[in-house]
């Protein structure tokens, strides 16, 4: 018996297992560092936004502000980010992306210090506005770098792990910053976020090399591109309207933006992503306010329980990316879009009953499953956008997409706050927040239907992106031959 016990293999440490999964998806040491660092960048942004939601009750009390004004604070950063993202996307397509991202993260830490030291609502609002300008480069830079660092067959899984950082950041904001606010004050909750930003900026600058642009499109991997292989196998013809006749690298900013919005699948994916973040922005800002009023919880208990619910979101993004890539490998070309249709359609079926019930123990599992379903489409949609956009335009395409996302994240907290105040009335603020959340489930449910046409357009748009990149490769080849002949 003793020898039997001694002969058993030790249980693998969960963090070692997670590291192994990330390494397998990333494919290299540089890829693994990129996944971790990109996740940390998104996590910092998400931690800040969640901290604002976790400290909303204190802000309302100490600064004498309303739910609507809390929504304004949450919207300020994303509003300015929307304005700055388009030129930032153009900058991403033409400069060193890693250094641009590292500098932005360092400035983000400075903005956190300013937020924590703000002495009035006006100063707090100004700090949030400045924060939005700093955040504008993150989305385009990460998307462009991801497209060059990872081949298409692994991008959904990779995005799943990157977006895990976004969700972990929300958990940090709710749990750690929320509890710091409860023990000390809301100021310390923001100030503590400045230190990790400095470390992340340093790690990006020192340990992540800038990849060659279009590296995956140029790389000789004939059996490692299942998206376009499957498109060829099922006989998908390119969408001729989306095939670029000129060199995309030399397109002007506005011409590039006009082009990416001529890609039908990209338009639908951008709209679906924006609606998803509209709901998520309101959820992240008012979840703690809702939980404290609806279930009668303290600040610490509400922050802790909703951090546990956030684990459902992590499960969703990891599982969504893996499921989509596996279905793709089995010949389901539009698997990434299909995960979006199913996930967005199923989420309200669980979130709705969870919002209505007054039993916390009934609501928690419903919130867990609903959040997982709601989160699963995010990595697959992000990967699908890279599939249908030629590599020279990914920074500008992501910049344009981020405008839509930022506008939705701006409108989300504002809409939630206004509706919560409007329906509070004599029934109380908890009832108003419940109605606001239920109403916002309607566009989330329609999101699944919005993506249905993309199931058909995805294949032709993938083929069109491949045709555009082939023309670029042919031009480069002819230019190299011509230069060699002159020498």
Which two structure tokens, joined as six digits, stand for 75?
Answer: 């919207």
Q: Is the pTM of this model over 0.85?
A: no
State residue 344 phi and psi, 5-degree precision: -65, -35
DSSP state of 152: G
What is the model's pLDDT at position 67?
Answer: 72
Distance of CA 299 to the CA centre of its chain: 27
Predicted confidence at residue 414, as pLDDT, reads: 79
What is the structure's pLDDT at 87?
Answer: 82
Q: Give me the tens of pLDDT residue by residue for the chain, a chain 487 residues long.
A: 434 333 344 444 554 555 555 555 545 567 788 888 988 988 888 788 778 877 777 777 777 777 777 777 777 777 777 777 778 877 888 888 899 999 888 888 888 888 888 777 788 888 887 777 677 788 788 888 887 888 776 777 787 888 888 777 777 776 777 677 777 777 888 888 888 888 999 999 988 888 877 655 554 444 445 555 555 554 566 767 777 766 666 777 778 888 888 899 999 999 998 898 888 878 877 777 788 777 888 767 777 777 777 788 888 888 888 888 888 878 788 889 999 999 999 999 999 998 888 888 898 899 999 999 988 998 889 888 888 888 778 777 877 787 787 778 778 877 887 888 788 764 545 577 788 888 888 888 888 899 999 999 998 888 888 888 777 766 765 666 666 666 5
Could you list the beta-strand ranges (E) of 72-140.
Answer: none
What is the reported pLDDT for 29? 65
Of 154, 257, 149, 137, nearest to 213 by C-alpha is: 149
Question: What is the per-residue pLDDT for 17?
Answer: 53
pLDDT value at position 21?
A: 56
Sign of torsion, CA 271 316 144 337?
A: negative
The string of DSSP codes covering 261-308 is: TT-HHHHHHHHHHHHHHHHHHHHHHHHHHHHHHHH---HHHHHHHHHH
- Look at residue 252 in the predicted model and tell me its pLDDT: 76
Question: Taking the mean position of all CA atoms in its chain, how far away is CA 239?
Answer: 28
pLDDT of residue 344: 93
What is the distance between the alpha carbons of residues 335 and 341, in angstroms, rounded to a whole number? 10
Q: Please name the residues in contact with 320: beta carbons below 8 A apart, sequence gap of 6 or more.
A: 156, 160, 339, 343, 375, 376, 377, 378, 379, 380
**With left for phi above 0 and alpha for psi between -120 and 50, is residue 213 left, alpha or beta?**
beta
d(CA 391, CA 244): 12
What is the structure's pLDDT at 20? Answer: 54
CA 86 – CA 398 distance, rounded (Å): 8
User: What domains does the chain contain, in order, with CATH numbers?
Assistant: 29-209+225-481 (1.20.1250.20)
CB atoms within 10 A of CB 127: 22
Enter the DSSP assignment of 429: H
The per-residue b/e assignment along 142-171, b for 16 or more CB within 10 angstroms, e otherwise, is bbbbbbbbbbbbbbbbbbbbbbbbbbbbbb
Q: Which residue has the tokens 């360092």?
A: 106
Give me the helices (H) in 173-214, please. Answer: 178-183, 186-191, 194-207
For the chain, counts of helices (H) and of strands (E): 23, 0
């Amino acid at each position: 018996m003793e020898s039997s016990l001694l002969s058993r293999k030790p249980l693998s440490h969960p963090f070692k297992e997670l590291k192994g999964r990330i390494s397998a998806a990333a494919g290299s040491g540089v890829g693994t560092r990129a996944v971790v660092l990109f996740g940390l960048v998104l996590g910092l942004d998400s931690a800040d936004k969640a901290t604002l939601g976790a400290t909303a009750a204190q802000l309302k009390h100490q600064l004498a502000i309303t739910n609507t004004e809390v929504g304004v604070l949450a919207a300020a950063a994303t509003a300015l980010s929307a304005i700055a993202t388009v030129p930032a996307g153009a900058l991403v397509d033409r400069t060193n992306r890693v250094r641009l991202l590292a500098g932005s993260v360092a400035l983000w830490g400075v903005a956190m210090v300013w937020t924590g030291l703000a002495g009035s609502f006006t100063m707090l609002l100004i700090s949030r506005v400045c924060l939005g300008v700093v955040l504008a480069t993150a989305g385009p830079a990460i998307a462009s770098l991801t497209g060059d660092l990872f081949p298409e067959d692994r991008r959904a899984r990779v995005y799943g792990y990157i977006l895990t950082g976004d969700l972990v950041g929300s958990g940090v904001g709710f749990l750690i910053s929320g509890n710091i606010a409860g023990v000390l004050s809301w100021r310390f909750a923001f100030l503590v976020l400045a230190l990790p930003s400095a470390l992340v900026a340093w790690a990006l600058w020192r340990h992540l090399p800038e990849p060659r642009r279009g590296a995956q499109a140029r790389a000789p991997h004939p059996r490692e591109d299942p998206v376009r292989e499957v498109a060829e196998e099922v006989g998908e013809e390119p969408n001729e309207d989306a095939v670029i006749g000129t060199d995309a690298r030399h397109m002007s900013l506005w011409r590039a933006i006009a082009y990416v919005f001529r890609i039908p699948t990209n338009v639908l994916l951008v709209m679906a992503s924006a609606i998803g973040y509209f709901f998520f922005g309101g959820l992240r800002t008012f979840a703690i306010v809702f939980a404290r009023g609806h279930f009668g919880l303290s600040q610490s208990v509400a922050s802790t329980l909703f951090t546990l619910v956030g684990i459902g979101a992590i499960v969703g993004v990891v599982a969504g990316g893996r499921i989509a890539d596996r279905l793709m490998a089995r010949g389901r070309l539009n698997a990434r879009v299909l995960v979006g249709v199913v996930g967005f359609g199923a989420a309200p079926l669980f979130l709705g009953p969870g919002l209505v019930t007054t039993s916390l123990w009934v609501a928690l599992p419903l919130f867990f499953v609903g959040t997982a379903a709601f989160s699963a489409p995010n990595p697959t949609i992000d990967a699908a956008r890279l599939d249908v956009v030629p590599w020279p335009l990914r920074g500008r395409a992501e910049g344009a997409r981020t405008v839509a996302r930022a506008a939705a994240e701006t409108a989300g907290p504002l809409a939630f706050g206004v509706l919560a105040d409007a329906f509070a009335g004599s029934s109380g603020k908890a009832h108003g927040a419940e109605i606001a959340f239920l109403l916002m489930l309607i566009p989330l449910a329609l999101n699944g239907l919005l993506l249905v046409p993309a199931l058909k357009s995805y294949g032709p748009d993938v083929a069109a992106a491949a045709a555009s990149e082939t023309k670029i490769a042919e031009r480069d080849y002819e230019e190299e031959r011509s230069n060699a002949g002159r020498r």
